[in-house]
Amino acid sequence: MTATVLDSAERLKDILDRLVAKSEADYYNPYQLFQWPDTLPQEQYWMSPELMSVHGTEVGAELTEEQLHKLSKWESVNFYSLNVHGIRELITEVIARIHTKEFKLTSEYFHHIIGEENEHMWFFARFCNQYGGKIYPDLTFKFDQASTDGPAAHFLVFARLLLFEEIVDFFNKRMGEDERLDPTIRKVNAIHHQDESRHVAFGRQIVSLLWKDLAAKSDESELEAVRAYLKAYLRRSLESLVNPAAFRDAGIPEPYKARNRVLADPAHADLDRAILKRSVKFLVAEGILLTESIDA
Amino acid sequence: MTQSAVDFIIDYLLAKRPDLTSIDLDLDLIENRILDSLGFVNFLYVVEEHTGTEISLDDVTPEDFRTVRSIAKRFFDGADVG
């Protein structure tokens, strides 16, 4: 039973107590925290150039500084749009489990996560709408109504949420400290990084416990299917950072071809490896993945 | 058209599923996991690039992607697929 796995986890209880206390101590009013100037300067980077999808690639080398500035704006709007959609999924899944028998122990902290994530979604959406005039649409298409119950469903939900948060945090941490970026951009990223460090700490604990529960109840072929899904999820998450609509909005011709060239470029693969380094090490250390490769 | 649109769709899907040697026009792509949620976006981009039209997910349903025939009819101007 998942209830047993979580309820008997003394370490998780300690961590939850500390995280709840920290959430309460760090509480802020996001609606009053940001200045939101009417516009942001167009002739500069909106995203650390090293974090742009085209960094070091042949496509990037063909772009002028002006085009790179434009692309950095639209890739940052894409990044915050992905945050909006990812957070909506996170909140939905956590709400589906809060105050259920299996997640009794974590329900108190779930309230903090839901509240904090709602606020993050608000400031990311505000940024997109105010400075990009839109949120890029969610291109997730659910063909298969996956089960929301049982150890595999619980594990996959929290694993997806953790990996999503860790990928996002790779960017937030760096952009929150990047003096080349406008103060509003730095602040949005820095604030999110500050809150996400708590969520990631929680995510690693619960994913580790839910994996042990799943592994004890599943045969090797079932675990292999879960591994294959997680690797596909990671590939899909990285690919979503390269959006042809952002290339189009930046005025780059043949945006689909540009996207394909970027995805095939070894320099882009280096960025992907850097983004996933921390997450993949964790997954392998826990025995969730057997190797650090996320290839199919 | 066009048969070439059908061939194009089938060739793309077969490249993603090397374990298959052919895909019938009416094979259920979702049931057979030839199209799934995680692989969907790349397929969407391929169709957009090929048709030159951005597709809004507000305007489509899973049924539009159920078979090669339904994809051809919905996104390739009622391609002549019978």
CA of A232 to nearest chain B CA: how many angstroms apart?
A: 7
pLDDT of A129:
98
Q: Which residue of chain B has the CA closest to A259?
A: B45
pLDDT of B77:
74
Residue A292 lies in a domain: no
Whose CA is closest to B38, among A139, A161, A152? A139
Residue A174 lies in a domain: yes
CB contact residues (below 8 A), chain A span 225-284, against chain B: 229, 232-233, 235-236, 239-240, 244-245, 256-257, 259
Residue A53 lies in a domain: yes
A140 touching B, CB under 8 A?
A: yes
Query: Phi and psi dihedrals of B6, rounded to 5?
Result: -65, -45
Domain range for A263 is 2-285
State the residue for tokens 């799934």.
B36
Alpha-carbon distance of A256 to A259, in angstroms, equals 5
pLDDT of B4:
83
Q: What is the pLDDT of residues B46-66, one digit of tens each?
A: 999 999 999 999 999 999 999
Query: A107: domain CATH number?
Result: 1.10.620.20
Alpha-carbon distance of B3 to B26, in angstroms, equals 15
Report, as ranges of residue numbers, the positions in chain A whose pLDDT lies below 50.
Answer: 1
Residue A295 lies in a domain: no
How many domains in chain A?
1
Reduced to 3 states (helix: H, G, I; strand: E, B; else coil), residue A253 is coil
Residue A45 lies in a domain: yes
Q: What is the pLDDT of residues A53-74, one digit of tens each?
A: 999 999 999 999 999 999 999 9
Residue A296 lies in a domain: no
Residue A142 lies in a domain: yes
> Cβ–Cβ of B37/A144 closer than 8 Å?
yes
Q: Higher model confidence: residue A141 or residue B20?
A: B20
B14 touching A, CB under 8 A?
A: no
Alpha-carbon distance of B80 to B67, in angstroms, equals 14
Q: ipTM score here?
A: 0.89
User: Percent of chain B at pLDDT above 90?
Assistant: 73
Name all domains of chain B by residue range, CATH numbers in brackets.
Answer: 3-75 (1.10.1200.10)
Residue A291 lies in a domain: no
pLDDT of A185:
98
B45 touching A, CB under 8 A?
A: yes
B55 touching A, CB under 8 A?
A: no
Sign of CA dihedral A87, A226, A260, A139: negative
